[in-house]
Amino acid sequence: MERKLASEVPIRTETTSFCRLCEAFCGTVISVEDGRPVKLSPDRDNPHARGHICVKGAAIVDIANDPDRVLRPLKRIGGPGEFIEVTWDEALDDIAARLKAILDADGPEAIATYFGNPGAFSTDTFMSSQWFLQRIGSTKFYAAGSQDSTSRHLASWILYGVAFRNAIPDLPNCDLLIITGANPLISHGGLLTAPRMRHDLDAIAERGRVIVIDPRRTETAKRYEHVAIQPDADAWLHAAMLKVMIRAEVVDEAFLAAHCTGWDDLRAAVMQVDIDEAAAATGVPRATIEQLALDFAAAPRAAIYGRVGLCRGRFSTIANLLLDAINIAGGKFGKPGGSTFGAFPLAEGTEPLSGYGEHRTRIGNLPVVAGLMPAAALPDDILEPGDGRVRAMMVIAGNPVLSAPGGERLERALESLDLFFSVDLYVTETNRFAHYVLPAATFLEKDDIPLIGLSHMVRPYIQYARAAVPPMGEAREEKAIFDDLVARMGLGSIAPTPGLRWLERQGMSITPLTLVELALRNGPLGKQRGDEALTFAKLAEMPHGMMLDLPLTYDGWAEHIATENRKIRLWHPIVADEFARFAAQQAPTGGDGMLKLFSQRKLKSMNSWMHNPEKLARSQEPALLVHPADAARYGLSDGGQASVANEHGAVEVAVEVTEDVVEGAVCYPHGWGHNGGWRHANTLPGANINLLLGLGPEAVELVSGTTFIDGIPVTVTPIAA
């Protein structure tokens, strides 16, 4: 047997880091051989995740090494998807020249960005993308958030004065947790950072109860108590629960009087809701609604938590606001075991203070929430003539053709642009229309801290992770790309303010992480602690990260309210208008021959961009979940094919008959229907259900710009074999 020389044996090293696929930020160990990542394992010494990672996190190594990954700049030379490799200089020179010409001729609003996953949880990607657009002078930051969170941000802005301020359930001390519109065993928590979610929920169930309200018997619902509800009925349920609590006189009137404004108006609006109508709209029996509300009120340590399922219906803003109102009126806010703000390790004011309506869309006059433009307005912003028409588009880590409404119209829009470039890992269904695709670095190739989760952690924690490997191929971090572009445009630096640019001229390197470190130094763990101050240098010596000796914000939470009087704002003209619309809306009861389509999240899938690794995709077969009664009613068979249609289009899907989905509704995962540059993903079954969503103002909740995705009326008809 041939023996390898010592010099031929691969050199393996290990680097500790954390995953940036979602808000759990699980600790990882990355094994590297000869400069290439070969394995991602759980970091069992990480005090935050304590050995937990999910299958998607481990698959980032397969993505980093994927033969279909873009590792050199690509220039389009023919039809969509026809690219050749070019040098960085050639790509950046041409992009910068075209951007400058458009900027000079049409102004900054002619340039827009679309931002999505997998960059949302990377500090460099998220912040530098915004800096680049701000430096150009444009406000058009379109984002995937309008598909899953802007109505939550609007509710938070109304309540607390800050769009990114969210109360979280105190999982370690909670005895009764109601989960609505969320599947945390699969999502690992949204706007809630708790990587060992199953252990937390099991502990609550052992002490008391975990109740899951969902149209599908999800993985979380199967493990705990399940209350089935119709899609897009959360506003009715939450209003009815609050009314039951008011009638039973179990609301905390003293807290409401001392710390809130608008309670009288909210109470009057809620009292107009008919509980029997709410029961009909939700499919939840009146007795169950009443018992849920009374059990919640009676539990000393209880919280109600919701996420994406609350954010994509016709009344998603008031559904989210009412959820918080149940916690607040029920005496659970700011209390151990209840719902409260997380810790704030960074200096106050570090979070973006973008709120509501600072800008509006050119087409449809839709509001911008938390600085995020509604994606439903993007195709028309490109296609419709007029001042401010988008002529140049940058897509960062997003695939709106599959993940946003109006994919077919968006394709036509993207093809019409004077300049379209993308920074991504793959040639996607979206950027196959780009003039250039620039290779991005994965999170394995970046320094980072878990910035976006710092104020949502049930157990406050921080880690400074160094890049495990240098950028592979010719990939670059976004900050470096954007710096190079603005320099070629004659704008100097992407640093967003003159003060920061002045610091750069003094020789100080200003990066997103630089600002985070400054915020850490000026926060509660910083210079006020003297020699014990926490710095990145100290964090770098703690390879597994550290738990922070900061409690959740039980006391002093009012310091983090940004309303004029630092009181929680339960009523606002937006809420008044939405309740008027809600009161005029007839409660849905079904029986019209239509089924209500809603989406689902799968453990091995993340939107559209993780379907190429075979380890993840080989066991995934997207199917339309249909209740047996509906299958019998419409002639659908398990394993058969069906057409799902409405006035916007039709798609063909496989059918799975199951009692896991509520009668009257059907469920299908989004992000499928591939035809991009990922060869394995293109072979997989599945359809793009977002083709059934509308476009423009009719496709969104007007006050938040959030796309209607859950509860879409459709017809489902069998297709003969």
- The confidence score (pLDDT) of residue 336 equals 96
Beta strand 260-261 pairing with 302-306:
unpaired
Q: Which of 322-326, 350-354, 706-710 comes out lowest in average pLDDT?
A: 350-354
- The confidence score (pLDDT) of residue 496 equals 72
Q: Which of 67-76, 355-364, 709-718 comes out lowest in average pLDDT?
A: 355-364
Confidence of residue 483 (pLDDT cuts 50, 70, 90): very high
Neighbours of 547 (CB within 10 A): 12
Quick check: 70 and 424 in contact, CB under 8 A? yes
Q: What angle do CA 657, 659, 663 make, to 5 degrees?
A: 90
- The confidence score (pLDDT) of residue 117 equals 80
Quote the tokens at residue 523. Answer: 């926060």
Given a cut of 50, whether residue 1 has pLDDT beyond it is no
Given a cut of 80, whether residue 536 has pLDDT beyond it is yes
At 65-89, the pLDDT tens digits run 999 999 999 999 999 999 999 999 9
- The confidence score (pLDDT) of residue 355 equals 80
- The confidence score (pLDDT) of residue 539 equals 95
- Would you tell me the crossing angle of helices 263-271 and 234-247 to the nearest 10 degrees? 110
- Among the residues of 522-607, which ranges form H helices? 536-540, 573-584
Given a cut of 50, whether residue 685 has pLDDT beyond it is yes
Given a cut of 80, whether residue 456 has pLDDT beyond it is yes
Confidence of residue 140 (pLDDT cuts 50, 70, 90): very high
Neighbours of 506 (CB within 10 A): 6
Confidence of residue 4 (pLDDT cuts 50, 70, 90): low
- The confidence score (pLDDT) of residue 87 equals 98
Beta strand 546-547 pairing with 461-462:
antiparallel
CA distance 166 to 155: 9
Q: How would you label 295-313 residue by residue, b for 16+ Cβ within 10 Å and e otherwise?
A: ebbebebbbbbbbbbbbbb
CA distance 691 to 678: 21
CA distance 598 to 603: 17
Given a cut of 70, whether residue 586 has pLDDT beyond it is no
Average pLDDT over residues 344-355: 74
Position 660: which residue type? D
* Non-local CB neighbours of 608 within 8 Å, separated by 6+ positions: 399, 402, 403, 428, 429, 670, 671, 672, 674
Closest to 474 (Cα-Cα) out of 216, 37, 89, 171: 89
- The confidence score (pLDDT) of residue 494 equals 87
- The confidence score (pLDDT) of residue 593 equals 77
Element (H, E) at 245: helix 234-247
* Non-local CB neighbours of 337 within 8 Å, separated by 6+ positions: 170, 173, 174, 175, 300, 301, 302, 303
> Residue 289 pairs with which residues in a beta bridge?
none
- The confidence score (pLDDT) of residue 721 equals 74
Given a cut of 80, whether residue 333 has pLDDT beyond it is yes
Given a cut of 80, whether residue 7 has pLDDT beyond it is no
Q: Tokens 């801290």 identify what position?
A: 449
- The confidence score (pLDDT) of residue 437 equals 98
Quick check: 571 and 325 in contact, CB under 8 A? no
- The confidence score (pLDDT) of residue 9 equals 61
Q: Which of 508-517, 541-550, 594-603, 676-685 comes out lowest in average pLDDT?
A: 508-517
CA distance 466 to 449: 9
Confidence of residue 501 (pLDDT cuts 50, 70, 90): low
Establish how many alpha carbons lie within 13 A of residue 171's alpha carbon, considering only the half-sphere containing its beta carbon.
Answer: 24
Confidence of residue 603 (pLDDT cuts 50, 70, 90): confident
Confidence of residue 655 (pLDDT cuts 50, 70, 90): very high
Average pLDDT over residues 499-513: 73
Average pLDDT over residues 448-461: 94
- The confidence score (pLDDT) of residue 353 equals 53
Quick check: 531 and 34 in contact, CB under 8 A? no
Closest to 122 (Cα-Cα) out of 546, 547, 601, 445: 445
**Burial (CB count <10 Å: 0-12, 13-18, 19+), residue 46:** buried
Average pLDDT over residues 324-333: 98
At 272-300, the pLDDT tens digits run 999 999 999 999 999 999 999 999 999 99
Evaluated on CA atoms 661, 242, 326, 351, the torsion sign reads positive
Q: Which of 54-63, 489-498, 683-692 comes out lowest in average pLDDT?
A: 489-498
Taking all residues of the chain, what is their mean pLDDT, rounded to a whole number?
Answer: 93
Average pLDDT over residues 554-573: 93
Establish how many alpha carbons lie within 13 A of residue 189's alpha carbon, considering only the half-sphere containing its beta carbon.
Answer: 24
Average pLDDT over residues 302-329: 97
- The confidence score (pLDDT) of residue 350 equals 61
Beta strand 302-306 pairing with 167-169:
unpaired
Given a cut of 90, whether residue 508 has pLDDT beyond it is no
At 372-418, the pLDDT tens digits run 999 999 999 999 999 999 999 999 999 999 999 988 999 999 999 99
Query: Diameter of the chain by CA atoms?
Result: 85
% residues pLDDT > 70 (the chain): 95
